[in-house]
Amino acid sequence: MKTAIAIAAHPDDIEFMMAGTLLLAKKAGYDIHYLNLSTGNVGSTQHNAEATSSIRLEEAKRSAQILGAHFHPPFCNDLEIFYDITMLRRLAAIIREVKPTIILTHSPSDYMEDHTNTCRLAVTAAFARGMPNFETVPAQEARNEDCAIYHALPHTLKDNLRRKIIPGAFVDTSSVQPIKLEALKAHQSQQGWLNVTQKMNSYLQTMEDISLKVGQMSKAFTHAEGWRRRLHVGFGPEDFDPLQDLGTNYVINEEYENNLENGF
C-alpha cells in the first residue's frame, strides 16, 4: 500500500493546512500517517508545561483518530525544534519505517522557526532515507523508494517578508471539510491560547477562512489547500507527482508552472 505522512511542528498545524489533502489521499487508497514533532507544551496560559503536554497529546491522538491516520508521538518541545543531528536521526527513522510516497510538511518560509525547522528536518530526513551509512534512532534499514515532498502554504498565506505565496497546485478539500473541521475541534485547548497570542477569536473560523481564501485562489474550488512540490533531486523522477492520484481533486496551477519555466 502507498503511504502518505504529514509532518508538522505542533498539534493542530496539520489540521489547519494539510488535513484535507491527507484525508483525500486516504480515500485514494493511501495509508496515512500523522506526526507532530513537538508536544505543544507551551501552548497554554492556564496550565503548566507538563499538564499542557498531556492535554495536547490526547487532543492530537483524538484528531488522528478522526482523520483515520496512524499516530506518531512527538519527541521534543515547543521552541526546541532545531535542525540538528539528534532530531534528524529520530525523524529519519520514522520516514524509513513509514516508507512514504507522499510527504506533506510546512513551507520553507513560515511565520515561526518551529515551522521552518520542521520543514528542513523533513526534507533532510527524507533525503537520507536511502543512505545506509546514516544511522537513525532507533535503527531502521535504509530504504530508497520514490517519494515526493509537498510544502503547505504558510499559515498567513505570506512569507516572512509579507509577500503572498502562490501555490503550484490546489487540492479541492470541499468534500472533506466537515471532517477536517471535526479534527481541528479536537484541539479544544487552543481556543483561548490562539485568541490571546495570535488574535484568533475563533480558531475554527480562522481555518475555514483560510481554506475559502485558497479556494478563491484556485478559481475552481470552494475550499482548498495549496501546495508547492519540492525539486525532485534525491527523492524521485523529475515528473513524479503522486498527488495526481487524487484525480480531479488535484489541479496544477498552470500560471505557477509557466513562471517556473520562465525563471520567475
Q: In this predicted model, what pLDDT tens digit does every residue of 176-189 receive, in sequence order?
A: 999 999 999 999 88
Q: Which three cell numbers stand for residue 43?
A: 501552548
Tell me how long the chain is. 264
Task: Using alpha carbons, select from 8, 1, 3 the residue that is nearest to residue 152.
Answer: 8
Confirm if 38 and 9 have CB atoms less than 8 A apart.
Answer: yes
Q: Which three cell numbers stand for residue 185?
A: 475541534
Predicted local distance difference test score (pLDDT) of residue 192: 62
pLDDT at 60 over 70: yes
Mean pLDDT lowest for which of 98-107, 113-122, 166-175, 186-195? 186-195
pLDDT at 241 over 90: yes
Q: Hey, what amino acid is at 62?
A: R
Band (pLDDT 50/70/90 cuts) for residue 198 is: low
The DSSP letter of residue 137 is S
Predicted local distance difference test score (pLDDT) of residue 193: 54
pLDDT at 78 over 90: yes
User: Which residue in the block uniquely carries the three cell numbers 489533502?
Assistant: 21
Q: Mean pLDDT, to the nearest integer, of 76-99?
A: 98
Predicted local distance difference test score (pLDDT) of residue 195: 53
Predicted local distance difference test score (pLDDT) of residue 255: 87
Band (pLDDT 50/70/90 cuts) for residue 44 is: confident
The DSSP letter of residue 234 is T
Predicted local distance difference test score (pLDDT) of residue 147: 98
CA distance 192 to 125: 34
pLDDT at 122 over 80: yes
Q: Mean pLDDT, to the nearest integer, of 21-25?
A: 98
> Rounded mean pLDDT of the chain?
94
Q: Mean pLDDT, to the nearest integer, of 121-132?
A: 98
Residue 187 C-alpha from the chain's centroid:
16
Mean pLDDT lowest for which of 68-72, 195-199, 253-257, 260-264? 195-199
**Within a 10 A sphere around the Cβ of 124, how many other Cβ atoms?**
16
Q: Which three cell numbers stand for residue 3?
A: 503511504
CA distance 38 to 118: 10
Task: Using alpha carbons, select from 25, 135, 119 the residue that is nearest to residue 70.
Answer: 25
Confirm if 74 and 63 have CB atoms less than 8 A apart.
Answer: no
Structural domains of the chain in order of their starting residue, each with its CATH number: 3-261 (3.40.50.10320)
Q: Mean pLDDT, to the nearest integer, of 63-71?
A: 98
Q: Which residues pair with 158 in a beta bridge?
A: 164
In degrees rounded to 5, what are phi and psi of residue 263?
85, 15
